[in-house]
Structure 1
Amino acid sequence: MQKQFSLIVLLVVLLSACQKEYTPKPRGYFRIEFPEKTYHRLGQNLPYSFEVADYSIPRSASDYTNTSDSGWLTISTPANKADLHLSYAPLNNDLQKHLEESRRLAYDHSIKADAIEERLFINREQHVYGTIYYIEGNAASPIQFFLTDSTEHFLRGALYIREIPNIDSIRPVIDFLEPDVIRLIETTHWN
């Protein structure tokens, strides 16, 4: 009788312990390893030149589209599923048109963006002037910019991450690539 009672008490204790609510573990993200930053100059055959990270792969637009636009370039960072799309246009008294189009393309992301911050860029020595758009939130493109000399050249860039724009998971990649975009902007000069 004592054994049966002990067995029943043990069974009740075990069953009551199993009735506890299940709490799943929070979702985790993989740790991302980033390479050391080293740069090289790019753009000998282009109307512009700048420095890009050694781990990036530049591709001409004609490599993957039917366009033959000279000066259009994509700088890919495959390890981070990121592409920096660059489009170039020679100016022909149409600077205002290009400025408005760049602004419109940046602000098209305002539907998903929490905020869009504009910062001016001026490099008088190289005659490079522009605006950098920092797009906060779950937008497809976290950084866009344009550069011009106001008379002959216009260069527009947009960084895209080829992942679902969940800012919590892609923030480390954006933080890693942002200095590369800024380095490109700061080292740009016209050929």
Structure 2
Amino acid sequence: MTVAGEREANRGPMYGGLMLASAATILGLRASDAIDATTAYMLALVPVALMFVVFRRARRSATKGPGASTAVARYLTGIFASSLAYMFGLGIALWAWRSLEPSTVLTWALAMLPIAPILWMIWVMGRYIVEEQDEYLRHRAIIASLVGLGFVLAIGSFWGFLETFELVPHMPGWWAVPVWAAGTAVGHLWQHRRDR
């Protein structure tokens, strides 16, 4: 690989790290009440824009060169679309619930806005595992998912025990999806670095 190609390959994980760091910073600022909800929603455009860059690079990598896989390309498209739907659904649902004082029926409908994309993500992941013909790529995807699951179990248990002893505030269960996604990304990056 040329020096320019090596530099280009190293930028993909860098953008992923920037995306996660910017999202974590915005969440931290919002949780500490350093910024209001409107500012947090506007700042959320930064990690969403970085997510577009990460997706584009990952899809290009999955469709060109050695190890190209149409199953990976379909998986990335499905995960990207369902992730966007999840983020927008969650934002719209939280905003409407807090701002509009909806009826019980409408509240149930609002709760479905982020739930449906989560089910879609699970279906996309399962479809990828079934469709991927390359055993090595399938293995890597399963390992990354297990790393994400490990993050959910470790962080959920850690926070749960602290919450039980009233050391930290209650954390809503929907945080499992972003924690799993971040853990899965770490699993992919770890394998990428290990295999280089």
TM-score (norm 1): 0.30
Larger radius of gyration: 1
> Larger % of strand: which?
1
Question: Which structure is richer in relative contact order (CA contacts within 8 A, separation 6 or more)?
Answer: 1
> Larger % of helix: which?
2
TM-score (norm 2): 0.29
